[in-house]
Amino acid sequence: MAPRAGRGYICERMRLHVLGSGAGGGLPQWNCSCDNCTLVRAGDARVTARTQDSIAIGSKGSGQLLVNASPDILRHIERTERLWPRAPRDTPIAAIALTNGDLDHVIGLLSLRESQPLRILSTARVRAGLVERNAVLRTLARTPDQVTWTTLELGSEIALDDLGVAVTAVPVAGKLPVHLVGLLEPSPEDNVALRVRDLATGRVAVVATAVGALDGVERLLAGADAILFDGTFWSDDELVARGLGRARAQDMAHVPIGGAAGSLARLAAFAGPRRVYTHINNTNPMLRADSAERARVERAGWEIASDGMEIAL
Ligand SMILES: [Zn+2]
Ligand SMILES: [Zn+2]
């Protein structure tokens, strides 16, 4: 079905705009001198700098849905014209959907505190983890109508008519944000992927940037026209092997890309839709243009997200 004309918000095809394609810390990460961070600082063309994860979804001239509020959100707004204000006090950001409560996905909310009305979509758990007993977040409650929270119930679609999209939160194996571990019991609402459906065309994008296990992921991806998938780590021991930490990818609820149990092998059947790895950690060897890992990913038909990449839905 072609996009309908004359409905205000449908000026062109829906687009996914990758604002930030890096995982928490970005590339280069301030306290890291791994191979990739070092190459970026040296200006080596084989590795490109990346800001922290966020995606804008919408059509040009319409309101935009942001998936996650990155610590780099102000930079994302200034380098993306469709996110600029159109009036003296205004933002085209019509809603922000949070996939979990990790700081690299929510801390940007604090940068949007200039008494601008905001609509935030999250599970009840993610909202509670953010606003309950958290004095800093009260900066988004300066007036009673500053933030409108919309609860994402797992599996139920919410239509955002003004944006021309509908959003469904699908539980995905994840973990509590580090700062809430020990305070709350884990819940399926801690981490979700989003299915975003274009109301005009019916086309579907899946945004799944934190996937802790692949069991049941086929249902999440079924019928998708574009998939933005967890590209955080290439291998489970990526940080350990480089002496950069003790946590394995699985400990951080990210399935690695490589290996027999990795997403590249396990998702080989999903050859139809546009498939893009994003939320890529700075240590991931596939970030280097001349790496064997990059060649393997591209041979399998996957793309590697970069900041500013646009995907027409
Ligand atoms: Zn993240
Ligand atoms: Zn690094």
pLDDT along the chain (313 residues), means of 10: 43 87 97 97 98 94 93 97 94 97 95 93 96 88 93 97 95 94 93 96 97 94 97 96 92 96 94 95 98 98 98 92
Q: How far is the CA of 102 from the centre of ligand 1 (A)?
A: 6
Q: In angstroms, what is the span from residue 112 Cα to ligand 2's centroid?
A: 28
Nearest Cα to Cα of residue 267 among 306, 309, 224, 305: 224
Ligand 1 centroid, distance to 254 Cα (angstroms): 9
CA dist list (Å): 195 to 17, 90, 104, 109, 221:
16, 27, 21, 22, 8
Structure-token match 């995982």, residue found: 23
Please state, in angstroms and as integers, the Cα–Cα distance from residue 67 to each residue in 164, 193, 269, 293, following that order: 15, 10, 26, 27
Location of structure tokens 């809603």: 95
- Rounded to whole angstroms, the Cα distance separating 124 from 136 reads 19
Provide the pairing of β-strand 157-160 with 192-198.
unpaired
Residue 233 CA, ligand 1 centroid: distance in Å = 12
Q: Which ligand is nearest to the CA of 54?
A: 1
Residue 121 is given by DSSP the state: E
Ligand 1 center from residue 63 Cα (angstroms): 24
> Side by side, which strands form the sheet with 54-58?
147-151, 118-122, 93-97, 64-67, 54-58, 15-20, 310-312
State in Å: Cα 56 to ligand 2 middle. 26
Q: What is the pLDDT of residue 11?
A: 52
Ligand nearest to the CA of 231: 1
Q: Which pLDDT does position 26 carry in this prediction?
A: 98
| List of residues 6+ apart from 5 with CB closer than 8 A | none
Q: From the CA of 47, how far away is ligand 2's center (Å)?
A: 11
Contacts of 7 (CB under 8 A, 6+ apart): 164, 200
CB 193 within 8 A of CB 211: yes
> Which among 245, 244, 243, 308 is positioned nearest to 49, based on CA atoms?
308
Separation of 11 CA from ligand 1 center, angstroms?
Answer: 32
CA 176 to centroid of ligand 2, rounded, Å: 24
What is residue 174's DSSP assignment? -
289 to each of 46, 54, 208, 209, how far by Cα in Å?
5, 22, 24, 22
Give the chain's largest Cα–Cα span.
57
Burial 217-237 (b: 16+ CB within 10 A, else e): beebbeebbbbbbbbbbbbbe
Give me the residues paired with residue 93 across strands.
64
Per-residue pLDDT at 59: 84
Ligand with minimal distance to 68 CA: 1
